[in-house]
């Protein structure tokens, strides 16, 4: 099969289109013919080698964390899917590979594609949708009447998280450029802050939850907009001991993560708020709940550009620039 392959780690590694063996199907796997794949900054970070400690992939590696396509074969233990089903997924860590003609995915990580969406639109959702869900529903327990600050509101996670937070009944503040104010307000943001000229720390007060996706200075400033008892959830790090425990890391990696997050955890304790790191996980059940929200019109995908599969490297470079509105997708059909 054709696939977009990374042969070695490094920022100068551009990847290539090449031939790779077809995936081997395990008993609880579903073989999916890929129609479209979402492109994420996570793909670039893995290509660059930033996650070698916690995600020891074997090279050559097929990138791609979002997939939409059609079932072509199922393993003997699979019960919920059959050939010709239209599905989407965020494959499990260490089993990624959406930038290819075929991918084998665990049944538990798969869901029927939202009927209202094209394959390209569906492929834009799994990683950012599950990230927003696991941050706002699982970790934050966000409820009606609470206030949440979602950074980078016009980005992939931001565009989804704003809509989910409004559905949950929260007041939503976000940062973006002034050119994107109309977009984030259409999605449901109550307060839009121009990060280029305004300091959110001087505007926001007594927030219940912050979803951080930015750098260390922004992370530290985020602590100061929370009320006592508030929750700072970061998807950009640093990893904390709880994540190390959940990921089954060895004692060396656990020690490194404890040191990396010591400063922010200490500051959070001083501010009487909590800090946690989220590295989202595959979850078909949550994708089914997301599908229901999409098909009922509560959440809509935001797709910036669709690239042909042959331009996957160009799509990754476009995402790395950091100016994407919503998501970028590559199409294989």
Residue found by looking up tokens 């656990």 in the block: 254
Strands (DSSP E) contained in the chain are 2-6, 16-19, 29-39, 61-62, 67-74, 86-89, 102-106, 110-112, 147-150, 171-176, 191-194, 207-212, 226-234, 274-277, 303-308, 327-331
Which residue(s) pair with 80 in the sheet?
A: none
* Count of residues making up the chain: 333
Q: How far apart are CA 85 and CA 188, in angstroms?
A: 33
CB 87 within 8 A of CB 10: no
Q: Which strands make up the sheet holding 2-6, listed edge to edge? A: 16-19, 2-6, 61-62
Same CATH topology for 2-124+302-331 and 128-277: the answer is: no
In sequence order, what are the residues at sequence separation of 6 or more whose Cβ sits closer than 8 angstroms to the Cβ of residue 89?
Answer: 32, 66, 67, 105, 109, 110, 111, 126, 282, 284, 287
Which residue(s) pair with 33 in the sheet?
A: 70, 102
Domain spanning 128-277 has what CATH number? 3.40.50.720
Residue found by looking up tokens 């930015």 in the block: 214
Give the other-Cβ count within 10 Å of 54's Cβ. Answer: 17
Structure tokens at 243: 């994540």
Tens of pLDDT, residue by residue, the chain (333 residues): 999 999 999 988 889 999 999 999 999 999 999 999 999 999 999 999 988 877 889 999 999 999 999 999 999 999 999 999 999 999 999 999 999 999 999 999 999 999 999 999 999 999 999 999 999 999 999 999 999 999 999 999 999 999 999 999 999 999 999 999 999 999 999 999 999 999 999 999 999 999 999 999 999 999 999 999 999 999 998 888 787 677 777 777 778 878 878 899 999 999 999 999 999 999 999 999 999 999 999 999 999 999 999 999 999 999 999 899 999 999 998
CB 5 within 8 A of CB 15: yes
Which residue(s) pair with 36 in the sheet?
A: 68, 331
Of the candidates 211, 212, 194, which has an alpha carbon nearest to the alpha carbon of residue 203? 194
Identify the CATH class of 2-124+302-331.
Answer: alpha beta
**Maximum Cα interatomic distance, the chain, rounded to a whole number of Å:** 58
Structure tokens at 73: 């074969």
Which residue(s) pair with 86 in the sheet?
A: 70
Model's pTM, two decimal places? Answer: 0.95
> What are the domain boundaries of the chain?
2-124+302-331, 128-277
CB 64 within 8 A of CB 100: yes
Give the sign of the dihedral formed by CA 48, CA 99, CA 160, CA 240.
Answer: negative
Q: For strand 191-194 and strand 207-212, is the pairing parallel, antiparallel, or unpaired?
A: unpaired
Q: What per-residue confidence (pLDDT) applies to 283?
A: 98
């Amino acid at each position: 099969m054709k696939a977009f392959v990374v042969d070695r780690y490094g920022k100068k590694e551009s990847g290539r289109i090449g031939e790779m063996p077809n995936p081997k199907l395990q008993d609880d796997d579903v073989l999916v013919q890929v129609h479209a794949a979402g492109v994420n900054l996570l793909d670039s970070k893995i290509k660059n080698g930033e996650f070698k400690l916690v995600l020891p992939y074997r090279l050559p590696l097929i990138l791609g964390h979002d997939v939409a396509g059609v079932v072509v074969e199922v393993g003997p233990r699979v019960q919920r899917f059959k050939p010709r089903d239209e599905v989407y997924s965020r494959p499990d860590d260490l089993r990624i590979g959406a930038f290819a003609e075929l991918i084998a995915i665990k049944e538990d990580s798969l869901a029927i594609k939202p009927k209202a969406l094209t394959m390209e639109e569906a492929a834009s959702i799994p990683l950012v949708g599950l990230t927003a869900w696991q941050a706002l529903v699982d970790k934050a327990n966000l409820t009606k009447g609470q206030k949440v600050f979602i950074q980078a509101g016009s980005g992939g996670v931001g565009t989804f998280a704003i809509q989910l937070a409004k559905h949950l009944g929260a007041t939503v503040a976000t940062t973006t450029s002034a050119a994107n104010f109309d977009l984030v307000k259409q999605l449901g943001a109550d307060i839009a802050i121009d990060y280029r000229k305004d300091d959110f720390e001087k505007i926001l007060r007594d927030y219940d939850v912050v979803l951080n996706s930015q750098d260390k200075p922004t992370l530290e400033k985020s602590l100061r907009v929370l009320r006592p008892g508030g929750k700072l959830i970061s998807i950009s790090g640093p990893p904390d001991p709880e994540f190390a425990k959940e990921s089954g890391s060895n004692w060396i990696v656990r020690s490194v993560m404890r040191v990396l997050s010591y400063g922010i955890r200490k500051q959070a304790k001083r501010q009487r708020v909590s800090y946690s790191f989220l590295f989202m996980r595959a979850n078909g059940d949550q994708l089914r709940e997301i599908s229901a929200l999409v098909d009922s019109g509560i959440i809509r995908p935001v797709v910036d550009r669709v690239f042909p599969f042959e331009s996957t490297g160009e799509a990754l470079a476009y995402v790395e620039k950091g100016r994407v509105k919503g998501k970028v997708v590559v199409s294989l059909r």
